[in-house]
Amino acid sequence: MSSRRNKSLAVVFIILFLGYYQRWLYAVIYESLNGSVDLDPALPMIIDGIQKFNSLQDDDSDIDDRAELQMERESVSAALPAMAYLMADSKLQAQADALSQRIQMDIDSSQFLSQRKFDCKGPKLHCGSTVNCGLGCQIHKLMSCVMVAYMTNRTLVPDFRNWPYSVPWTDVFRPIGAPDCPTDNETALVRWGKTGFTVGLPDKTIYSYKSGIPVPLSVGPDLKMLPTDHYVWWISQFAKYTMRLQSWEEELMAKFKDVLKLQIPTVGIVVRKRDKRGEKRKLEIHSIDKYMSLAKKYFSKLEETQTNVTRRILLSTDDRNVFKLVRKRYRPPRWQILGFQRKTDVEDIVKDIYMLSQCHFVVCSFSADICRLVLELKESQELNSVYRIKSLGYNYFYATEGFNKLRYLLKY
């Protein structure tokens, strides 16, 4: 009797075990065939049904509870602004750099496949900003487009019809996708929504993302090993790819860095006074003293262990009166104020974003796309950069509402 019971329990255990891991096997087999098999358009519905099948899913975990995570950041920042001088372990940073290189190569190879064939007959995605907005907004929209093209294995045909600048994208940044490929009836389009977006052909939807940033299932295990905010790190990879500079722009940025002499330590401050075109969010105005008080805390903490600390500030603002006020109140030799008044041309804004991302601690507001881009670029260079930036008034969010967590999915 006991033996029969043990056999029954063993059978039940085996059934449960196989029932759990068969979904892993399905995922592995499907993804391994993904590059060589034409997939049925209905398959994403099946994939959507098994999104939550594995322990990599973050939907219910603390790391993706953005409010709780932000409270943790705030409490840490109050005691030690942004923990700006805590460095990631070199081995873990090396692992992050290796994973980043793999992802960058994967995105690049998938995007230029059709272009290299010179036939543009592969599956394509036509995508871009649907509104006439500033550079930070334009970049975030293109980041989303690259993300969708990458996850759906389609070559991106960027849509620059709402690009508001006289300088073309490729005068500053490297080309994205295959801009010269023509669109046709089989070219997928992105339809933006408040809580997600869909990718579809004129007569049907072929993929749908809701309430989450898509991540390939195959990347999940390595991403989970990184001791950082996985949400920000994953987004940072698309900022890194989208904002690749042309060689002449890289030389120009290097010259600017030499001119500014961004030595350790430098605190970057972004003070924004004007609304941007097409922006609906209410602009927050903070006094310059509020920004500078956080810089003071940072330098005071350094001075507990270091001597002769120069309080160096890199100031980025669209208001020349701010420069006058800061230089009047915070004077040498105690303070060194660097920077230029930001203009409206592309190169000037890009210069500010890249120089700020090189600072060791940044004070800004996440209500501005530029502030969020600075964090994303910093995170692509160094783990835990969420502790190297302090936002006034807003928590970090991605460019589109509803994308406040990661979704581990099979690539289409």
Residue range 193-217, pLDDT digits in tens: 766 677 887 677 767 776 678 899 9
pTM of this structure: 0.76
For 30-51, the pLDDT digits (tens) are: 344 443 333 322 222 222 222 2
What residue ranges do the domains of the chain occupy? 69-83+240-391
157, pLDDT greater than 50: yes
In angstroms, the CA 366 to CA 398 distance is: 10
Task: For residue range 369-407, list pLDDT tens digits in order.
Answer: 999 999 999 999 999 999 999 998 788 888 655 567 888
Residue 142 has pLDDT above 70, yes or no: yes
pLDDT at position 83: 43
Q: What is the mean pLDDT of the chain?
A: 75
Among 23-27, 132-136, 177-181, the range scoring the smallest mean pLDDT is 23-27
How high is the pLDDT of residue 10? 62
Buried b (16+ CB within 10 A) or exposed e, 84-94: bbeebeeeebe
* pLDDT class of 2 with cuts at 50, 70, 90: low
Spatial distance between the Cα atoms of 71 and 122, rounded to a whole number of angstroms: 46
Instruction: Examine the pLDDT at 154 and tell me if it is beyond 80.
Output: yes
Q: What is the CATH number of domain 69-83+240-391?
A: 3.40.50
pLDDT category, 182, cuts 50, 70, 90? confident
